[in-house]
Amino acid sequence: MGRYIIRRVLQAIPLLFLLSIAMFLLIHALPGGADQVIFNPHLDAAGRAALRARFGLDQPLPVQYIKWLGNCLIGNFGYSFATNQPVSDIFAERFPPTIELFAIALSLALILAIILGTISAVRQNSVVDYILTTISYFGLAMPAFILGIFLQDIFGVQLHWLPVSGTETLGYTFDAFNSFFDRFLHIVLPTLTLATLFVAGWSRYMRSSTIDVVKQDYMRTARAKGVSPSSVLFRHALRNSIIPLITVAAIDFGSVASGATITEGIFQWPGMGSLFLNSLDVRDYPVLLAMLVVGAVFVIGFNLIADILYGIVDPRIRYS
């Protein structure tokens, strides 16, 4: 396993290198260019030259890339065009709320998807299966912004049970417990919105995989030996049927670096998704480029984690 992990990490290095080149060229090819973003049209030639030198735009593109890559390797992603803050400081402020939202929403979605997908497979072609299938199709077809607005209107506007935006109630001073409870209330609606979207798709994968597994010969053999249905399901079927779900979930977990753009925008959640929208709106190229690179690292990393989990879940899988 150790050699396999080392080999995969070494394979990821040239992949990330090629991705960084593509992303760097893509950002610099966007209409308008960095000059149009940072320059005041009223600046004179000397002011323009000073700004170009300040952001390194006076150098050839290959030189800009090499310097940018070298800084990235030490965690320096440059300075924001919009706020002149270090991009790493912006990430340090925006990343924790996104991690908080994704950790709760995706954990809840994973648990519900396994439970609902397994029930739907075991009760195949029953009323329960049809109901769960209908609910899943509803979740797949429902856009995130529509679902979020519905939840805001029902639980926030009509029932006044939950806050509809932000991370905390402004203008109040709470003790530790009430502050935690206030934070919890604010995260409920964005968590439900995000989790619903993932449960809808993941439960379909779980159902299809479980149906295939329960029809295998070793499952019939276990039942013929008199093994209880619960043991057959949990000890034999579940561990094998969850493998395809690991792949899908790992890719979705890898998207944490780019945040839940639509969900965070609806609920004004100050995470990476809303940062991406704001940066795209003002064409803040250093922030956008850093988000693309970090997102690629997370996707590759979580795919490696998925491969490792294959060997843990299924003892038949061995890496040499």
Same domain assignment for residues 231 and 288: yes
Average pLDDT, the chain: 82
User: What's the average model confidence in pLDDT over 137-160?
Assistant: 88
User: What's the average model confidence in pLDDT over 77-99?
Assistant: 87
Same domain assignment for residues 98 and 66: no
* Greater model confidence, 105 or 5: 105
C-alpha torsion angle, residues 285, 286, 291, 296 (rounded to 10)? 100
Taking the CA of residue 118 as centre, how many other CA atoms within 13 Å lie in the half-sphere pointing to its CB? 18
pLDDT given at position 191: 92
Q: In Å, what is the CA distance from 161 to each residue of 156, 182, 269, 271?
A: 6, 12, 18, 24
The answer to whether residue 292 scores a pLDDT higher than 80 is yes
Same domain assignment for residues 100 and 58: no
User: Tokens 């995000």 correspond to what residue?
Assistant: 194
User: What's the average model confidence in pLDDT over 138-142?
Assistant: 84
CA atoms of 218 and 220, how far apart (whole Å): 5
Assigned domain for 247 exists: yes
Assigned domain for 319 exists: no
User: What's the average model confidence in pLDDT over 120-138?
Assistant: 87
Same domain assignment for residues 143 and 10: no
Assigned domain for 195 exists: yes
CATH classification at residue 113: 1.10.3720.10
Q: What is the pLDDT of residues 47-68, one digit of tens each?
A: 667 777 776 777 788 888 888 8
Q: Which domain holds residue 35?
A: 2-73
User: What's the average model confidence in pLDDT over 291-307?
Assistant: 84
Q: What is the pLDDT of residues 216-228, one digit of tens each?
A: 777 777 777 777 7
CA atoms of 312 and 243, how far apart (whole Å): 10
Assigned domain for 320 exists: no
Domain end among 38, 73, 108: 73
Q: Please, which residues have CB within 8 angstroms of residue 164's CB and are 6 or more apart in sequence?
A: 152, 156, 157, 189, 267
Q: How many domains does the chain have?
A: 2
Range name among 37-46, 261-270, 308-317 with the lowest pLDDT average: 37-46
Assigned domain for 87 exists: no
pLDDT given at position 34: 59
The answer to whether residue 306 scores a pLDDT higher than 60 is yes
pLDDT given at position 5: 76
Cβ pair 267, 153 in contact under 8 A: no
Same domain assignment for residues 252 and 140: yes
Same domain assignment for residues 181 and 50: no
pLDDT given at position 1: 65
Give percent of the chain above pLDDT 70. 88
Same domain assignment for residues 130 and 69: no
pLDDT given at position 280: 81
Same domain assignment for residues 128 and 269: yes
Q: Please, which residues have CB within 8 angstroms of residue 295's CB and are 6 or more apart in sequence?
A: 254, 255, 257, 258
Assigned domain for 161 exists: yes
pLDDT given at position 42: 62
Same domain assignment for residues 115 and 201: yes
pTM for the full predicted model: 0.80
Look up residue 30 and give its two tokens: 């966007």
Assigned domain for 80 exists: no
Q: What is the pLDDT of residues 183-236, one digit of tens each?
A: 888 899 999 998 988 898 888 888 888 888 877 777 777 777 777 777 777 777
Domain end among 73, 105, 120: 73
Taking the CA of residue 317 as centre, how many other CA atoms within 13 Å lie in the half-sphere pointing to its CB? 14
Assigned domain for 211 exists: yes
pLDDT given at position 245: 83
pLDDT given at position 248: 83
pLDDT given at position 44: 67
Same domain assignment for residues 100 and 61: no
pLDDT given at position 188: 92
CA atoms of 7 and 192, how far apart (whole Å): 39
Same domain assignment for residues 63 and 120: no
Query: Given pLDDT bands bounded at 50, 70 and 90, which one contains residue 179?
Result: confident
Taking the CA of residue 4 as centre, how many other CA atoms within 13 Å lie in the half-sphere pointing to its CB? 13
pLDDT given at position 252: 81
Same domain assignment for residues 139 and 191: yes
CA atoms of 80 and 285, how far apart (whole Å): 8
